[in-house]
Structure 1
Amino acid sequence: MDYMWIIWLVLAAAFLIVEMITIALISVWFTAGSLIALIASLLGMSLPGQVALMLVSSIVLLTAFVLLRRKMGILPSQKQATNADALIGKQGEVIQRVDPVENIGQVQVNGQIWSARTDGSQAIEVGTAVKITELRGVKLVVVPFG
């Protein structure tokens, strides 16, 4: 199959176009794998060997890249809390009584005022230090601190 190098070249170009559109640094490794298979095709390797070489080299390159980024600290190894999720575990202060029956109340956390509720059966009075345990919709779920 003397034309396989053309197919590998077209595949490499297609993967490169996908990479340019997505900018995810994933398709670029399949571009490299396709180019490696193209070279193998020009050297006379069998078609199953070319396909296997393309897949293995792409996966090895992708895995090495991800591990290297993680080791360098560029790619976080676990989910990072952002925005309101970052408030979970923080301490705040009740500025309007948090009443579990009426489902009303407000707390101040990091200088911001949030609507709050508690899952407890007792109301939490103004001035009480609270810990944020959860975010439900736009309300913080709080418990007395300590």
Structure 2
Amino acid sequence: MSILLNSSTIASIPVWIFWLIILVAAVVIEISTINMVTVWFALGALTALLLDLLSVSLTIQVIVFFIVSILCFIVFISLVKPRFSSEVTGKIPTNADRILGQKAIVLYRINPLENIGQIQVLGQIWSARSLDGNEIETDTLVEVVDISGVHAIVKSLNDTK
């Protein structure tokens, strides 16, 4: 192991180049993925690279690389991920959510028994189902209360109940 890990080289390359390769590889992988998977290794490699430039021993650099990488991972999992995760809200927000709470006009009678119905909301035509399972006639004013798949779930605003 002493051949691979002496004070100035790793596998016959300068230590700072080794850390730079790890840093660049982690950044390239991070950029090419949707999820955060290697950013903590990039931060660990950057820290180790800076330590090498300050002539800190290779053993300390390796230890700091792992400590920084693990700490960054723990911070991400415990503090950052819950704030951006859909698990917190239970739903993944989409552009379709903008129709929630909007008023709409029934274009085609909503009939749960025949599984038909259409509304127009914000200039878009949506398949619709009634919230209470009742039929809603054409030209009735409704409010969108939920979205289920590709269907707007609506309640009639003309009811006097």
* Structure 2 length-normalised TM: 0.60
Give 1:92 shift: 0.6
Residues 121-142 of structure 1 show CA distances to partners (whole Å, capped at 9, x for unaligned) of: 4211222221112223322221
Q: Which amino acid is the alignment partner of residue 51 of structure 2?
A: A
In the alignment, is the contact (CA less than 8 A) between 2:22 and 2:42 conserved in 1?
yes
* Identity among equivalent pairs (%): 34
Give 1:34 shift: 0.7
- Structure 1 partner of 2:51: 40
- Structure 2 partner of 1:89: 101
d(CA) in 1 for partners of 2:125, 2:113 = 21
Residue ranges of structure 1 left out of the alignment (5+ in a row): none
Which fold has the larger relative contact order, with Cα–Cα distance below 8 Å and residues 6 or more apart in sequence?
Answer: 1
Aligned counterpart in structure 2 of residue 138 of structure 1, from 144, 147, 150: 150
Residue ranges of structure 2 left out of the alignment (5+ in a row): none
Residues 83-129 of structure 1 show CA distances to partners (whole Å, capped at 9, x for unaligned) of: 32322222111122212222222211112222211142421122222
SS at the partner of 2:114?
A: coil
Q: Which amino acid is the alignment partner of residue 87 of structure 1?
A: I
Q: Sort the Cα spacing of 1:143 and 1:39 in 2 relative to 1 into closer, same or farther, 3 A.
A: same
* Structure 1 length-normalised TM: 0.65
User: Across the two proteins, how many residue pairs are aligned to each other?
Assistant: 136
In the alignment, is the contact (CA less than 8 A) between 2:44 and 2:65 conserved in 1?
no
d(CA) in 2 for partners of 1:94, 1:24 = 41
